[in-house]
Amino acid sequence: MGILRDEGDVVQEPFVCGTPPFLKSMNGIGFEDSGGAKKTLTSAQRLDFKRARIDVKIIKRESDKRAKYDLFQRLNSYGTKATEQELRNCLLVSISKLHYKWIEELSNDPIFLGVLDLPERLLEEQYHMELALRFIIFRQVNEAQLSKIGNIGEYLDAEIVSLTEFNKKKRDEESRILRNTFALMDEAGGPTLLRRWNPQRERMEGPFALTAFETMALGIGYYDASKRITAPILRKKRSELWQKEGFKSGFSFGLRADQRMRKTIPAGRRLFGAVVEQ
């Protein structure tokens, strides 16, 4: 309708529909005859929109962050299906746009993205942002707490509230550790470090593997040890990991994410603990 303003108080162009999956005839339709629309809704249709009832929930800007979290979770029962991380991003923006921008910038670091080497579909679903969150949230999680985690998605949702309490010093520290960790991984082999080991072909192959992320990336990050671990040492530790009996091909099949992480995260800490303690 041409009345929406952005954060800089600039009026935005009126919305023109694209091509939705099941209503292809909506393509190019605008609410009114403006904004480059090929055609518009009829006057009767516009009237229906204007008279439609909208359910509005209001929570004050200064309200407690956990109250905002609770409201968001209650409202998130209907509407278009989105990925867990897309919903998590909405939650993060609603609580603290500053912290959303921080995670967004961190997850778009070129070296971080290069080591993950995710397909375009996962990038569109914001999976790289989820992995940045996982790194920060699980990097130093207490192993006793790790044993109590059930649904990983719900745990990440709840930890979002604690993350928005990070001050600048804490955010800078977490940014430095993530960037240093992935710079080392980039030097030691890049994307191959986060793939599965094929014992028959004696090489890393396949797509990104959470098992490798949880052991190696979180293992290095736990000790903030990127300066004490060289690229040759990291490559050696990668080989050691996949030769362990408990990490043979297919070990995580049938395991829930929380069951897998109770094994992978402590294993990563042990893997690099010997190097750090030398």
Within this chain, do residues 78 and 39 fall inside the same structural domain, yes or no?
no
pLDDT band at 23 (very low <50, low <70, confident <90, very high): confident
Q: What is the mean pLDDT of residues 139-146?
A: 90
- Confirm if 117 and 128 have CB atoms less than 8 A apart: no
Q: Which domain holds residue 40?
A: 1-54
Higher pLDDT, 10 or 203: 10
Half-sphere exposure of 110 (CA within 13 A, CB side): 0
pLDDT tens-place string over residues 89-116: 888 888 899 999 999 999 999 999 999 9
pLDDT tens across 160-173, in order? Answer: 889 999 999 999 99
* 182 token code pair: 């992935």
Question: Is residue 28 domain-shared with residue 89, that is, in the same domain?
Answer: no
Q: What is the pLDDT of residue 3?
A: 73
Residue 60 domain-assigned?
Answer: no
Q: What rounded mean pLDDT belongs to the chain?
A: 83
- 165 and 108 within one domain: yes
- The answer to whether residues 78 and 206 belong to one domain is yes
CA distance 70 to 76: 10
pLDDT at 250: 57
Q: Is residue 91 part of a domain?
A: yes
- Quickly tell me which residue has 């609580």 as its tokens: 95
For residues 115 and 42, membership in a common domain is answered with: no
Higher pLDDT, 176 or 93: 176
Residues 107 and 243 in one domain: yes
Q: Is residue 197 part of a domain?
A: yes
- Is 248 inside any structural domain? yes
Query: Does residue 118 form part of some domain?
Result: yes
Q: What is the pLDDT of residue 59?
A: 61
Say if residues 225 and 272 touch (Cβ distance below 8 Å).
yes
Residues 84, 175, single domain; the answer is yes
Residues 205, 265: one domain? yes
162 & 39 share domain: no
Q: Are residues 43 and 93 in the same domain?
A: no
pTM for this predicted structure? 0.72
Is residue 23 included in any domain, yes or no?
yes
- Asked if residue 193 lies in contact with residue 212, where contact means CB atoms within 8 angstroms, the answer is yes
Q: Is there a domain that residue 48 lies in? A: yes
Domain count, the chain: 2
Residue 3's Cβ-count burial label (10 Å; 0-12, 13-18, 19+) is exposed
Residue 177 pLDDT > 70, yes or no?
Answer: yes
Residue 263 and residue 134 share a domain: yes
Q: Do both 174 and 271 map to the same domain?
A: yes
Structural domain contains residue 100: yes
